[in-house]
Amino acid sequence: MAAAEAADRVSDMARMKRGWGLTKKSWGLLTEHRALLRFPLYGGVATILMAIIVVGPGLYLIDEGEVAPGAPLVVIGLYLLALIGTYYSVGLAACADMIFHGRDASFSDGTAVARSRFRKIAAWALVATVIATIIGFLEDKGGIAGAIFGRLLQLGWSLITFLAVPVIALEGTGPFETLKRSAGLFRQRWGEQITGNVAIGGIVFLVALLPAIILIVAGAALWASSGVGGAALVALGVIIFAVGMLIQSALSGIFGVALYRYALEGETVGGFTAEELESAVRQKGGTGDGARPATI
């Protein structure tokens, strides 16, 4: 038992070390090409505005008992949010791939690719919205069993669609072909697509998001007694949290493209080495040495 726990700790440390290395490489590209931050920034602003204009009123109507007009408004709003998020993610992926291959790509280059894929993006956003609506319904109306099944469905969906954005950006596939391609790559390289992403997210969480949450909680606790001081802590925490989310989105997008290229062709890009990417992408059954795929 103790040996197993020790092995798990070693595995966790190795995974964190790998995540730190992947984060550093992604961060290096981001600092050299800061225009990549414009994709999650603009997407975030557009998402907030759309949520206020469409989703907010829909939720208000539902809360007031007017489900007939409110529910469709919420679904339409969710679709528009998915459309916006996918559009800017595709632009970032396209731009990152250009940079990986030696082009001095700009924000407009990425958005040009996203515009050329707009119909495919719109179709993919529709599929994603339908799945999200089904999952939400199961979790909300299905009781304990529905909640468990919804969570499992959400996890499975996130796994098989992890490479969907690079596939749309670089192959221009429709929604069902995108799902097939992403799921196929996932089956071939089981496990570490999502693990690498979580590792990057974990580093950003420790460095930025966790301190931001602590500041927000502390500020909220002090607000009643100190007024301005508490409000300042909350505002600082919100700003740090927002910046952290922007950085995490950009880093994950960059890593996703690098991993897509390696999973597809064995190509190493962006300063990532074959060893680093091999540790992040392992075929089922390992490499013949009895190794099994890494898990989250």
What are the tens digits of pLDDT across the range 55-96? 889 988 988 888 888 989 998 999 999 999 999 999 999 999
Which residue range(s) make up the domain with 95?
A: 33-188
- Helical residues (DSSP H) of the chain, grouped into ranges: 2-32, 38-50, 56-63, 67-100, 107-116, 118-141, 143-160, 164-171, 175-188, 192-204, 210-226, 228-265, 274-280
Q: Is the pLDDT reported for residue 295 higher than 80?
A: no
Q: Is residue 182 domain-shared with residue 47, that is, in the same domain?
A: yes
Q: Considering the chain, what percentage of its residues have pLDDT values greater than 90? A: 26
Q: Of 188, 218, 234, which residue sits at a domain end?
A: 188
Q: Is residue 175 domain-shared with residue 108, that is, in the same domain?
A: yes
Q: Of 161, 188, 215, which residue sits at a domain end?
A: 188
Q: Is residue 232 domain-shared with residue 168, that is, in the same domain?
A: no
Q: Is the pLDDT reported for residue 17 higher than 70?
A: no
Q: Is residue 140 domain-shared with residue 256, that is, in the same domain?
A: no
More confident residue, 251 or 17: 251
Q: Is residue 107 domain-shared with residue 253, that is, in the same domain?
A: no
Q: Is residue 242 domain-shared with residue 286, that is, in the same domain?
A: yes
Q: Is residue 114 domain-shared with residue 124, that is, in the same domain?
A: yes
Q: Of 188, 213, 244, which residue sits at a domain end?
A: 188
Q: Is residue 181 domain-shared with residue 242, that is, in the same domain?
A: no
| Angstrom distance (rounded) from CA 77 to CA 75 | 5
Q: Is residue 114 domain-shared with residue 252, that is, in the same domain?
A: no
What's the structural domain count of the chain? 2
Looking at residues 122-130, what average pLDDT do you find?
95
Q: Is residue 199 domain-shared with residue 270, that is, in the same domain?
A: yes
| Angstrom distance (rounded) from CA 198 to CA 280 | 11
Three-state secondary structure readout of 146-209: HHHHHHHHHHHHHHHCCCHHHHHHHHCCCHHHHHHHHHHHHHHCCCHHHHHHHHHHHHHHHHHH
- Identify which of 63-72, 104-113, 203-212 has the greatest average pLDDT: 104-113
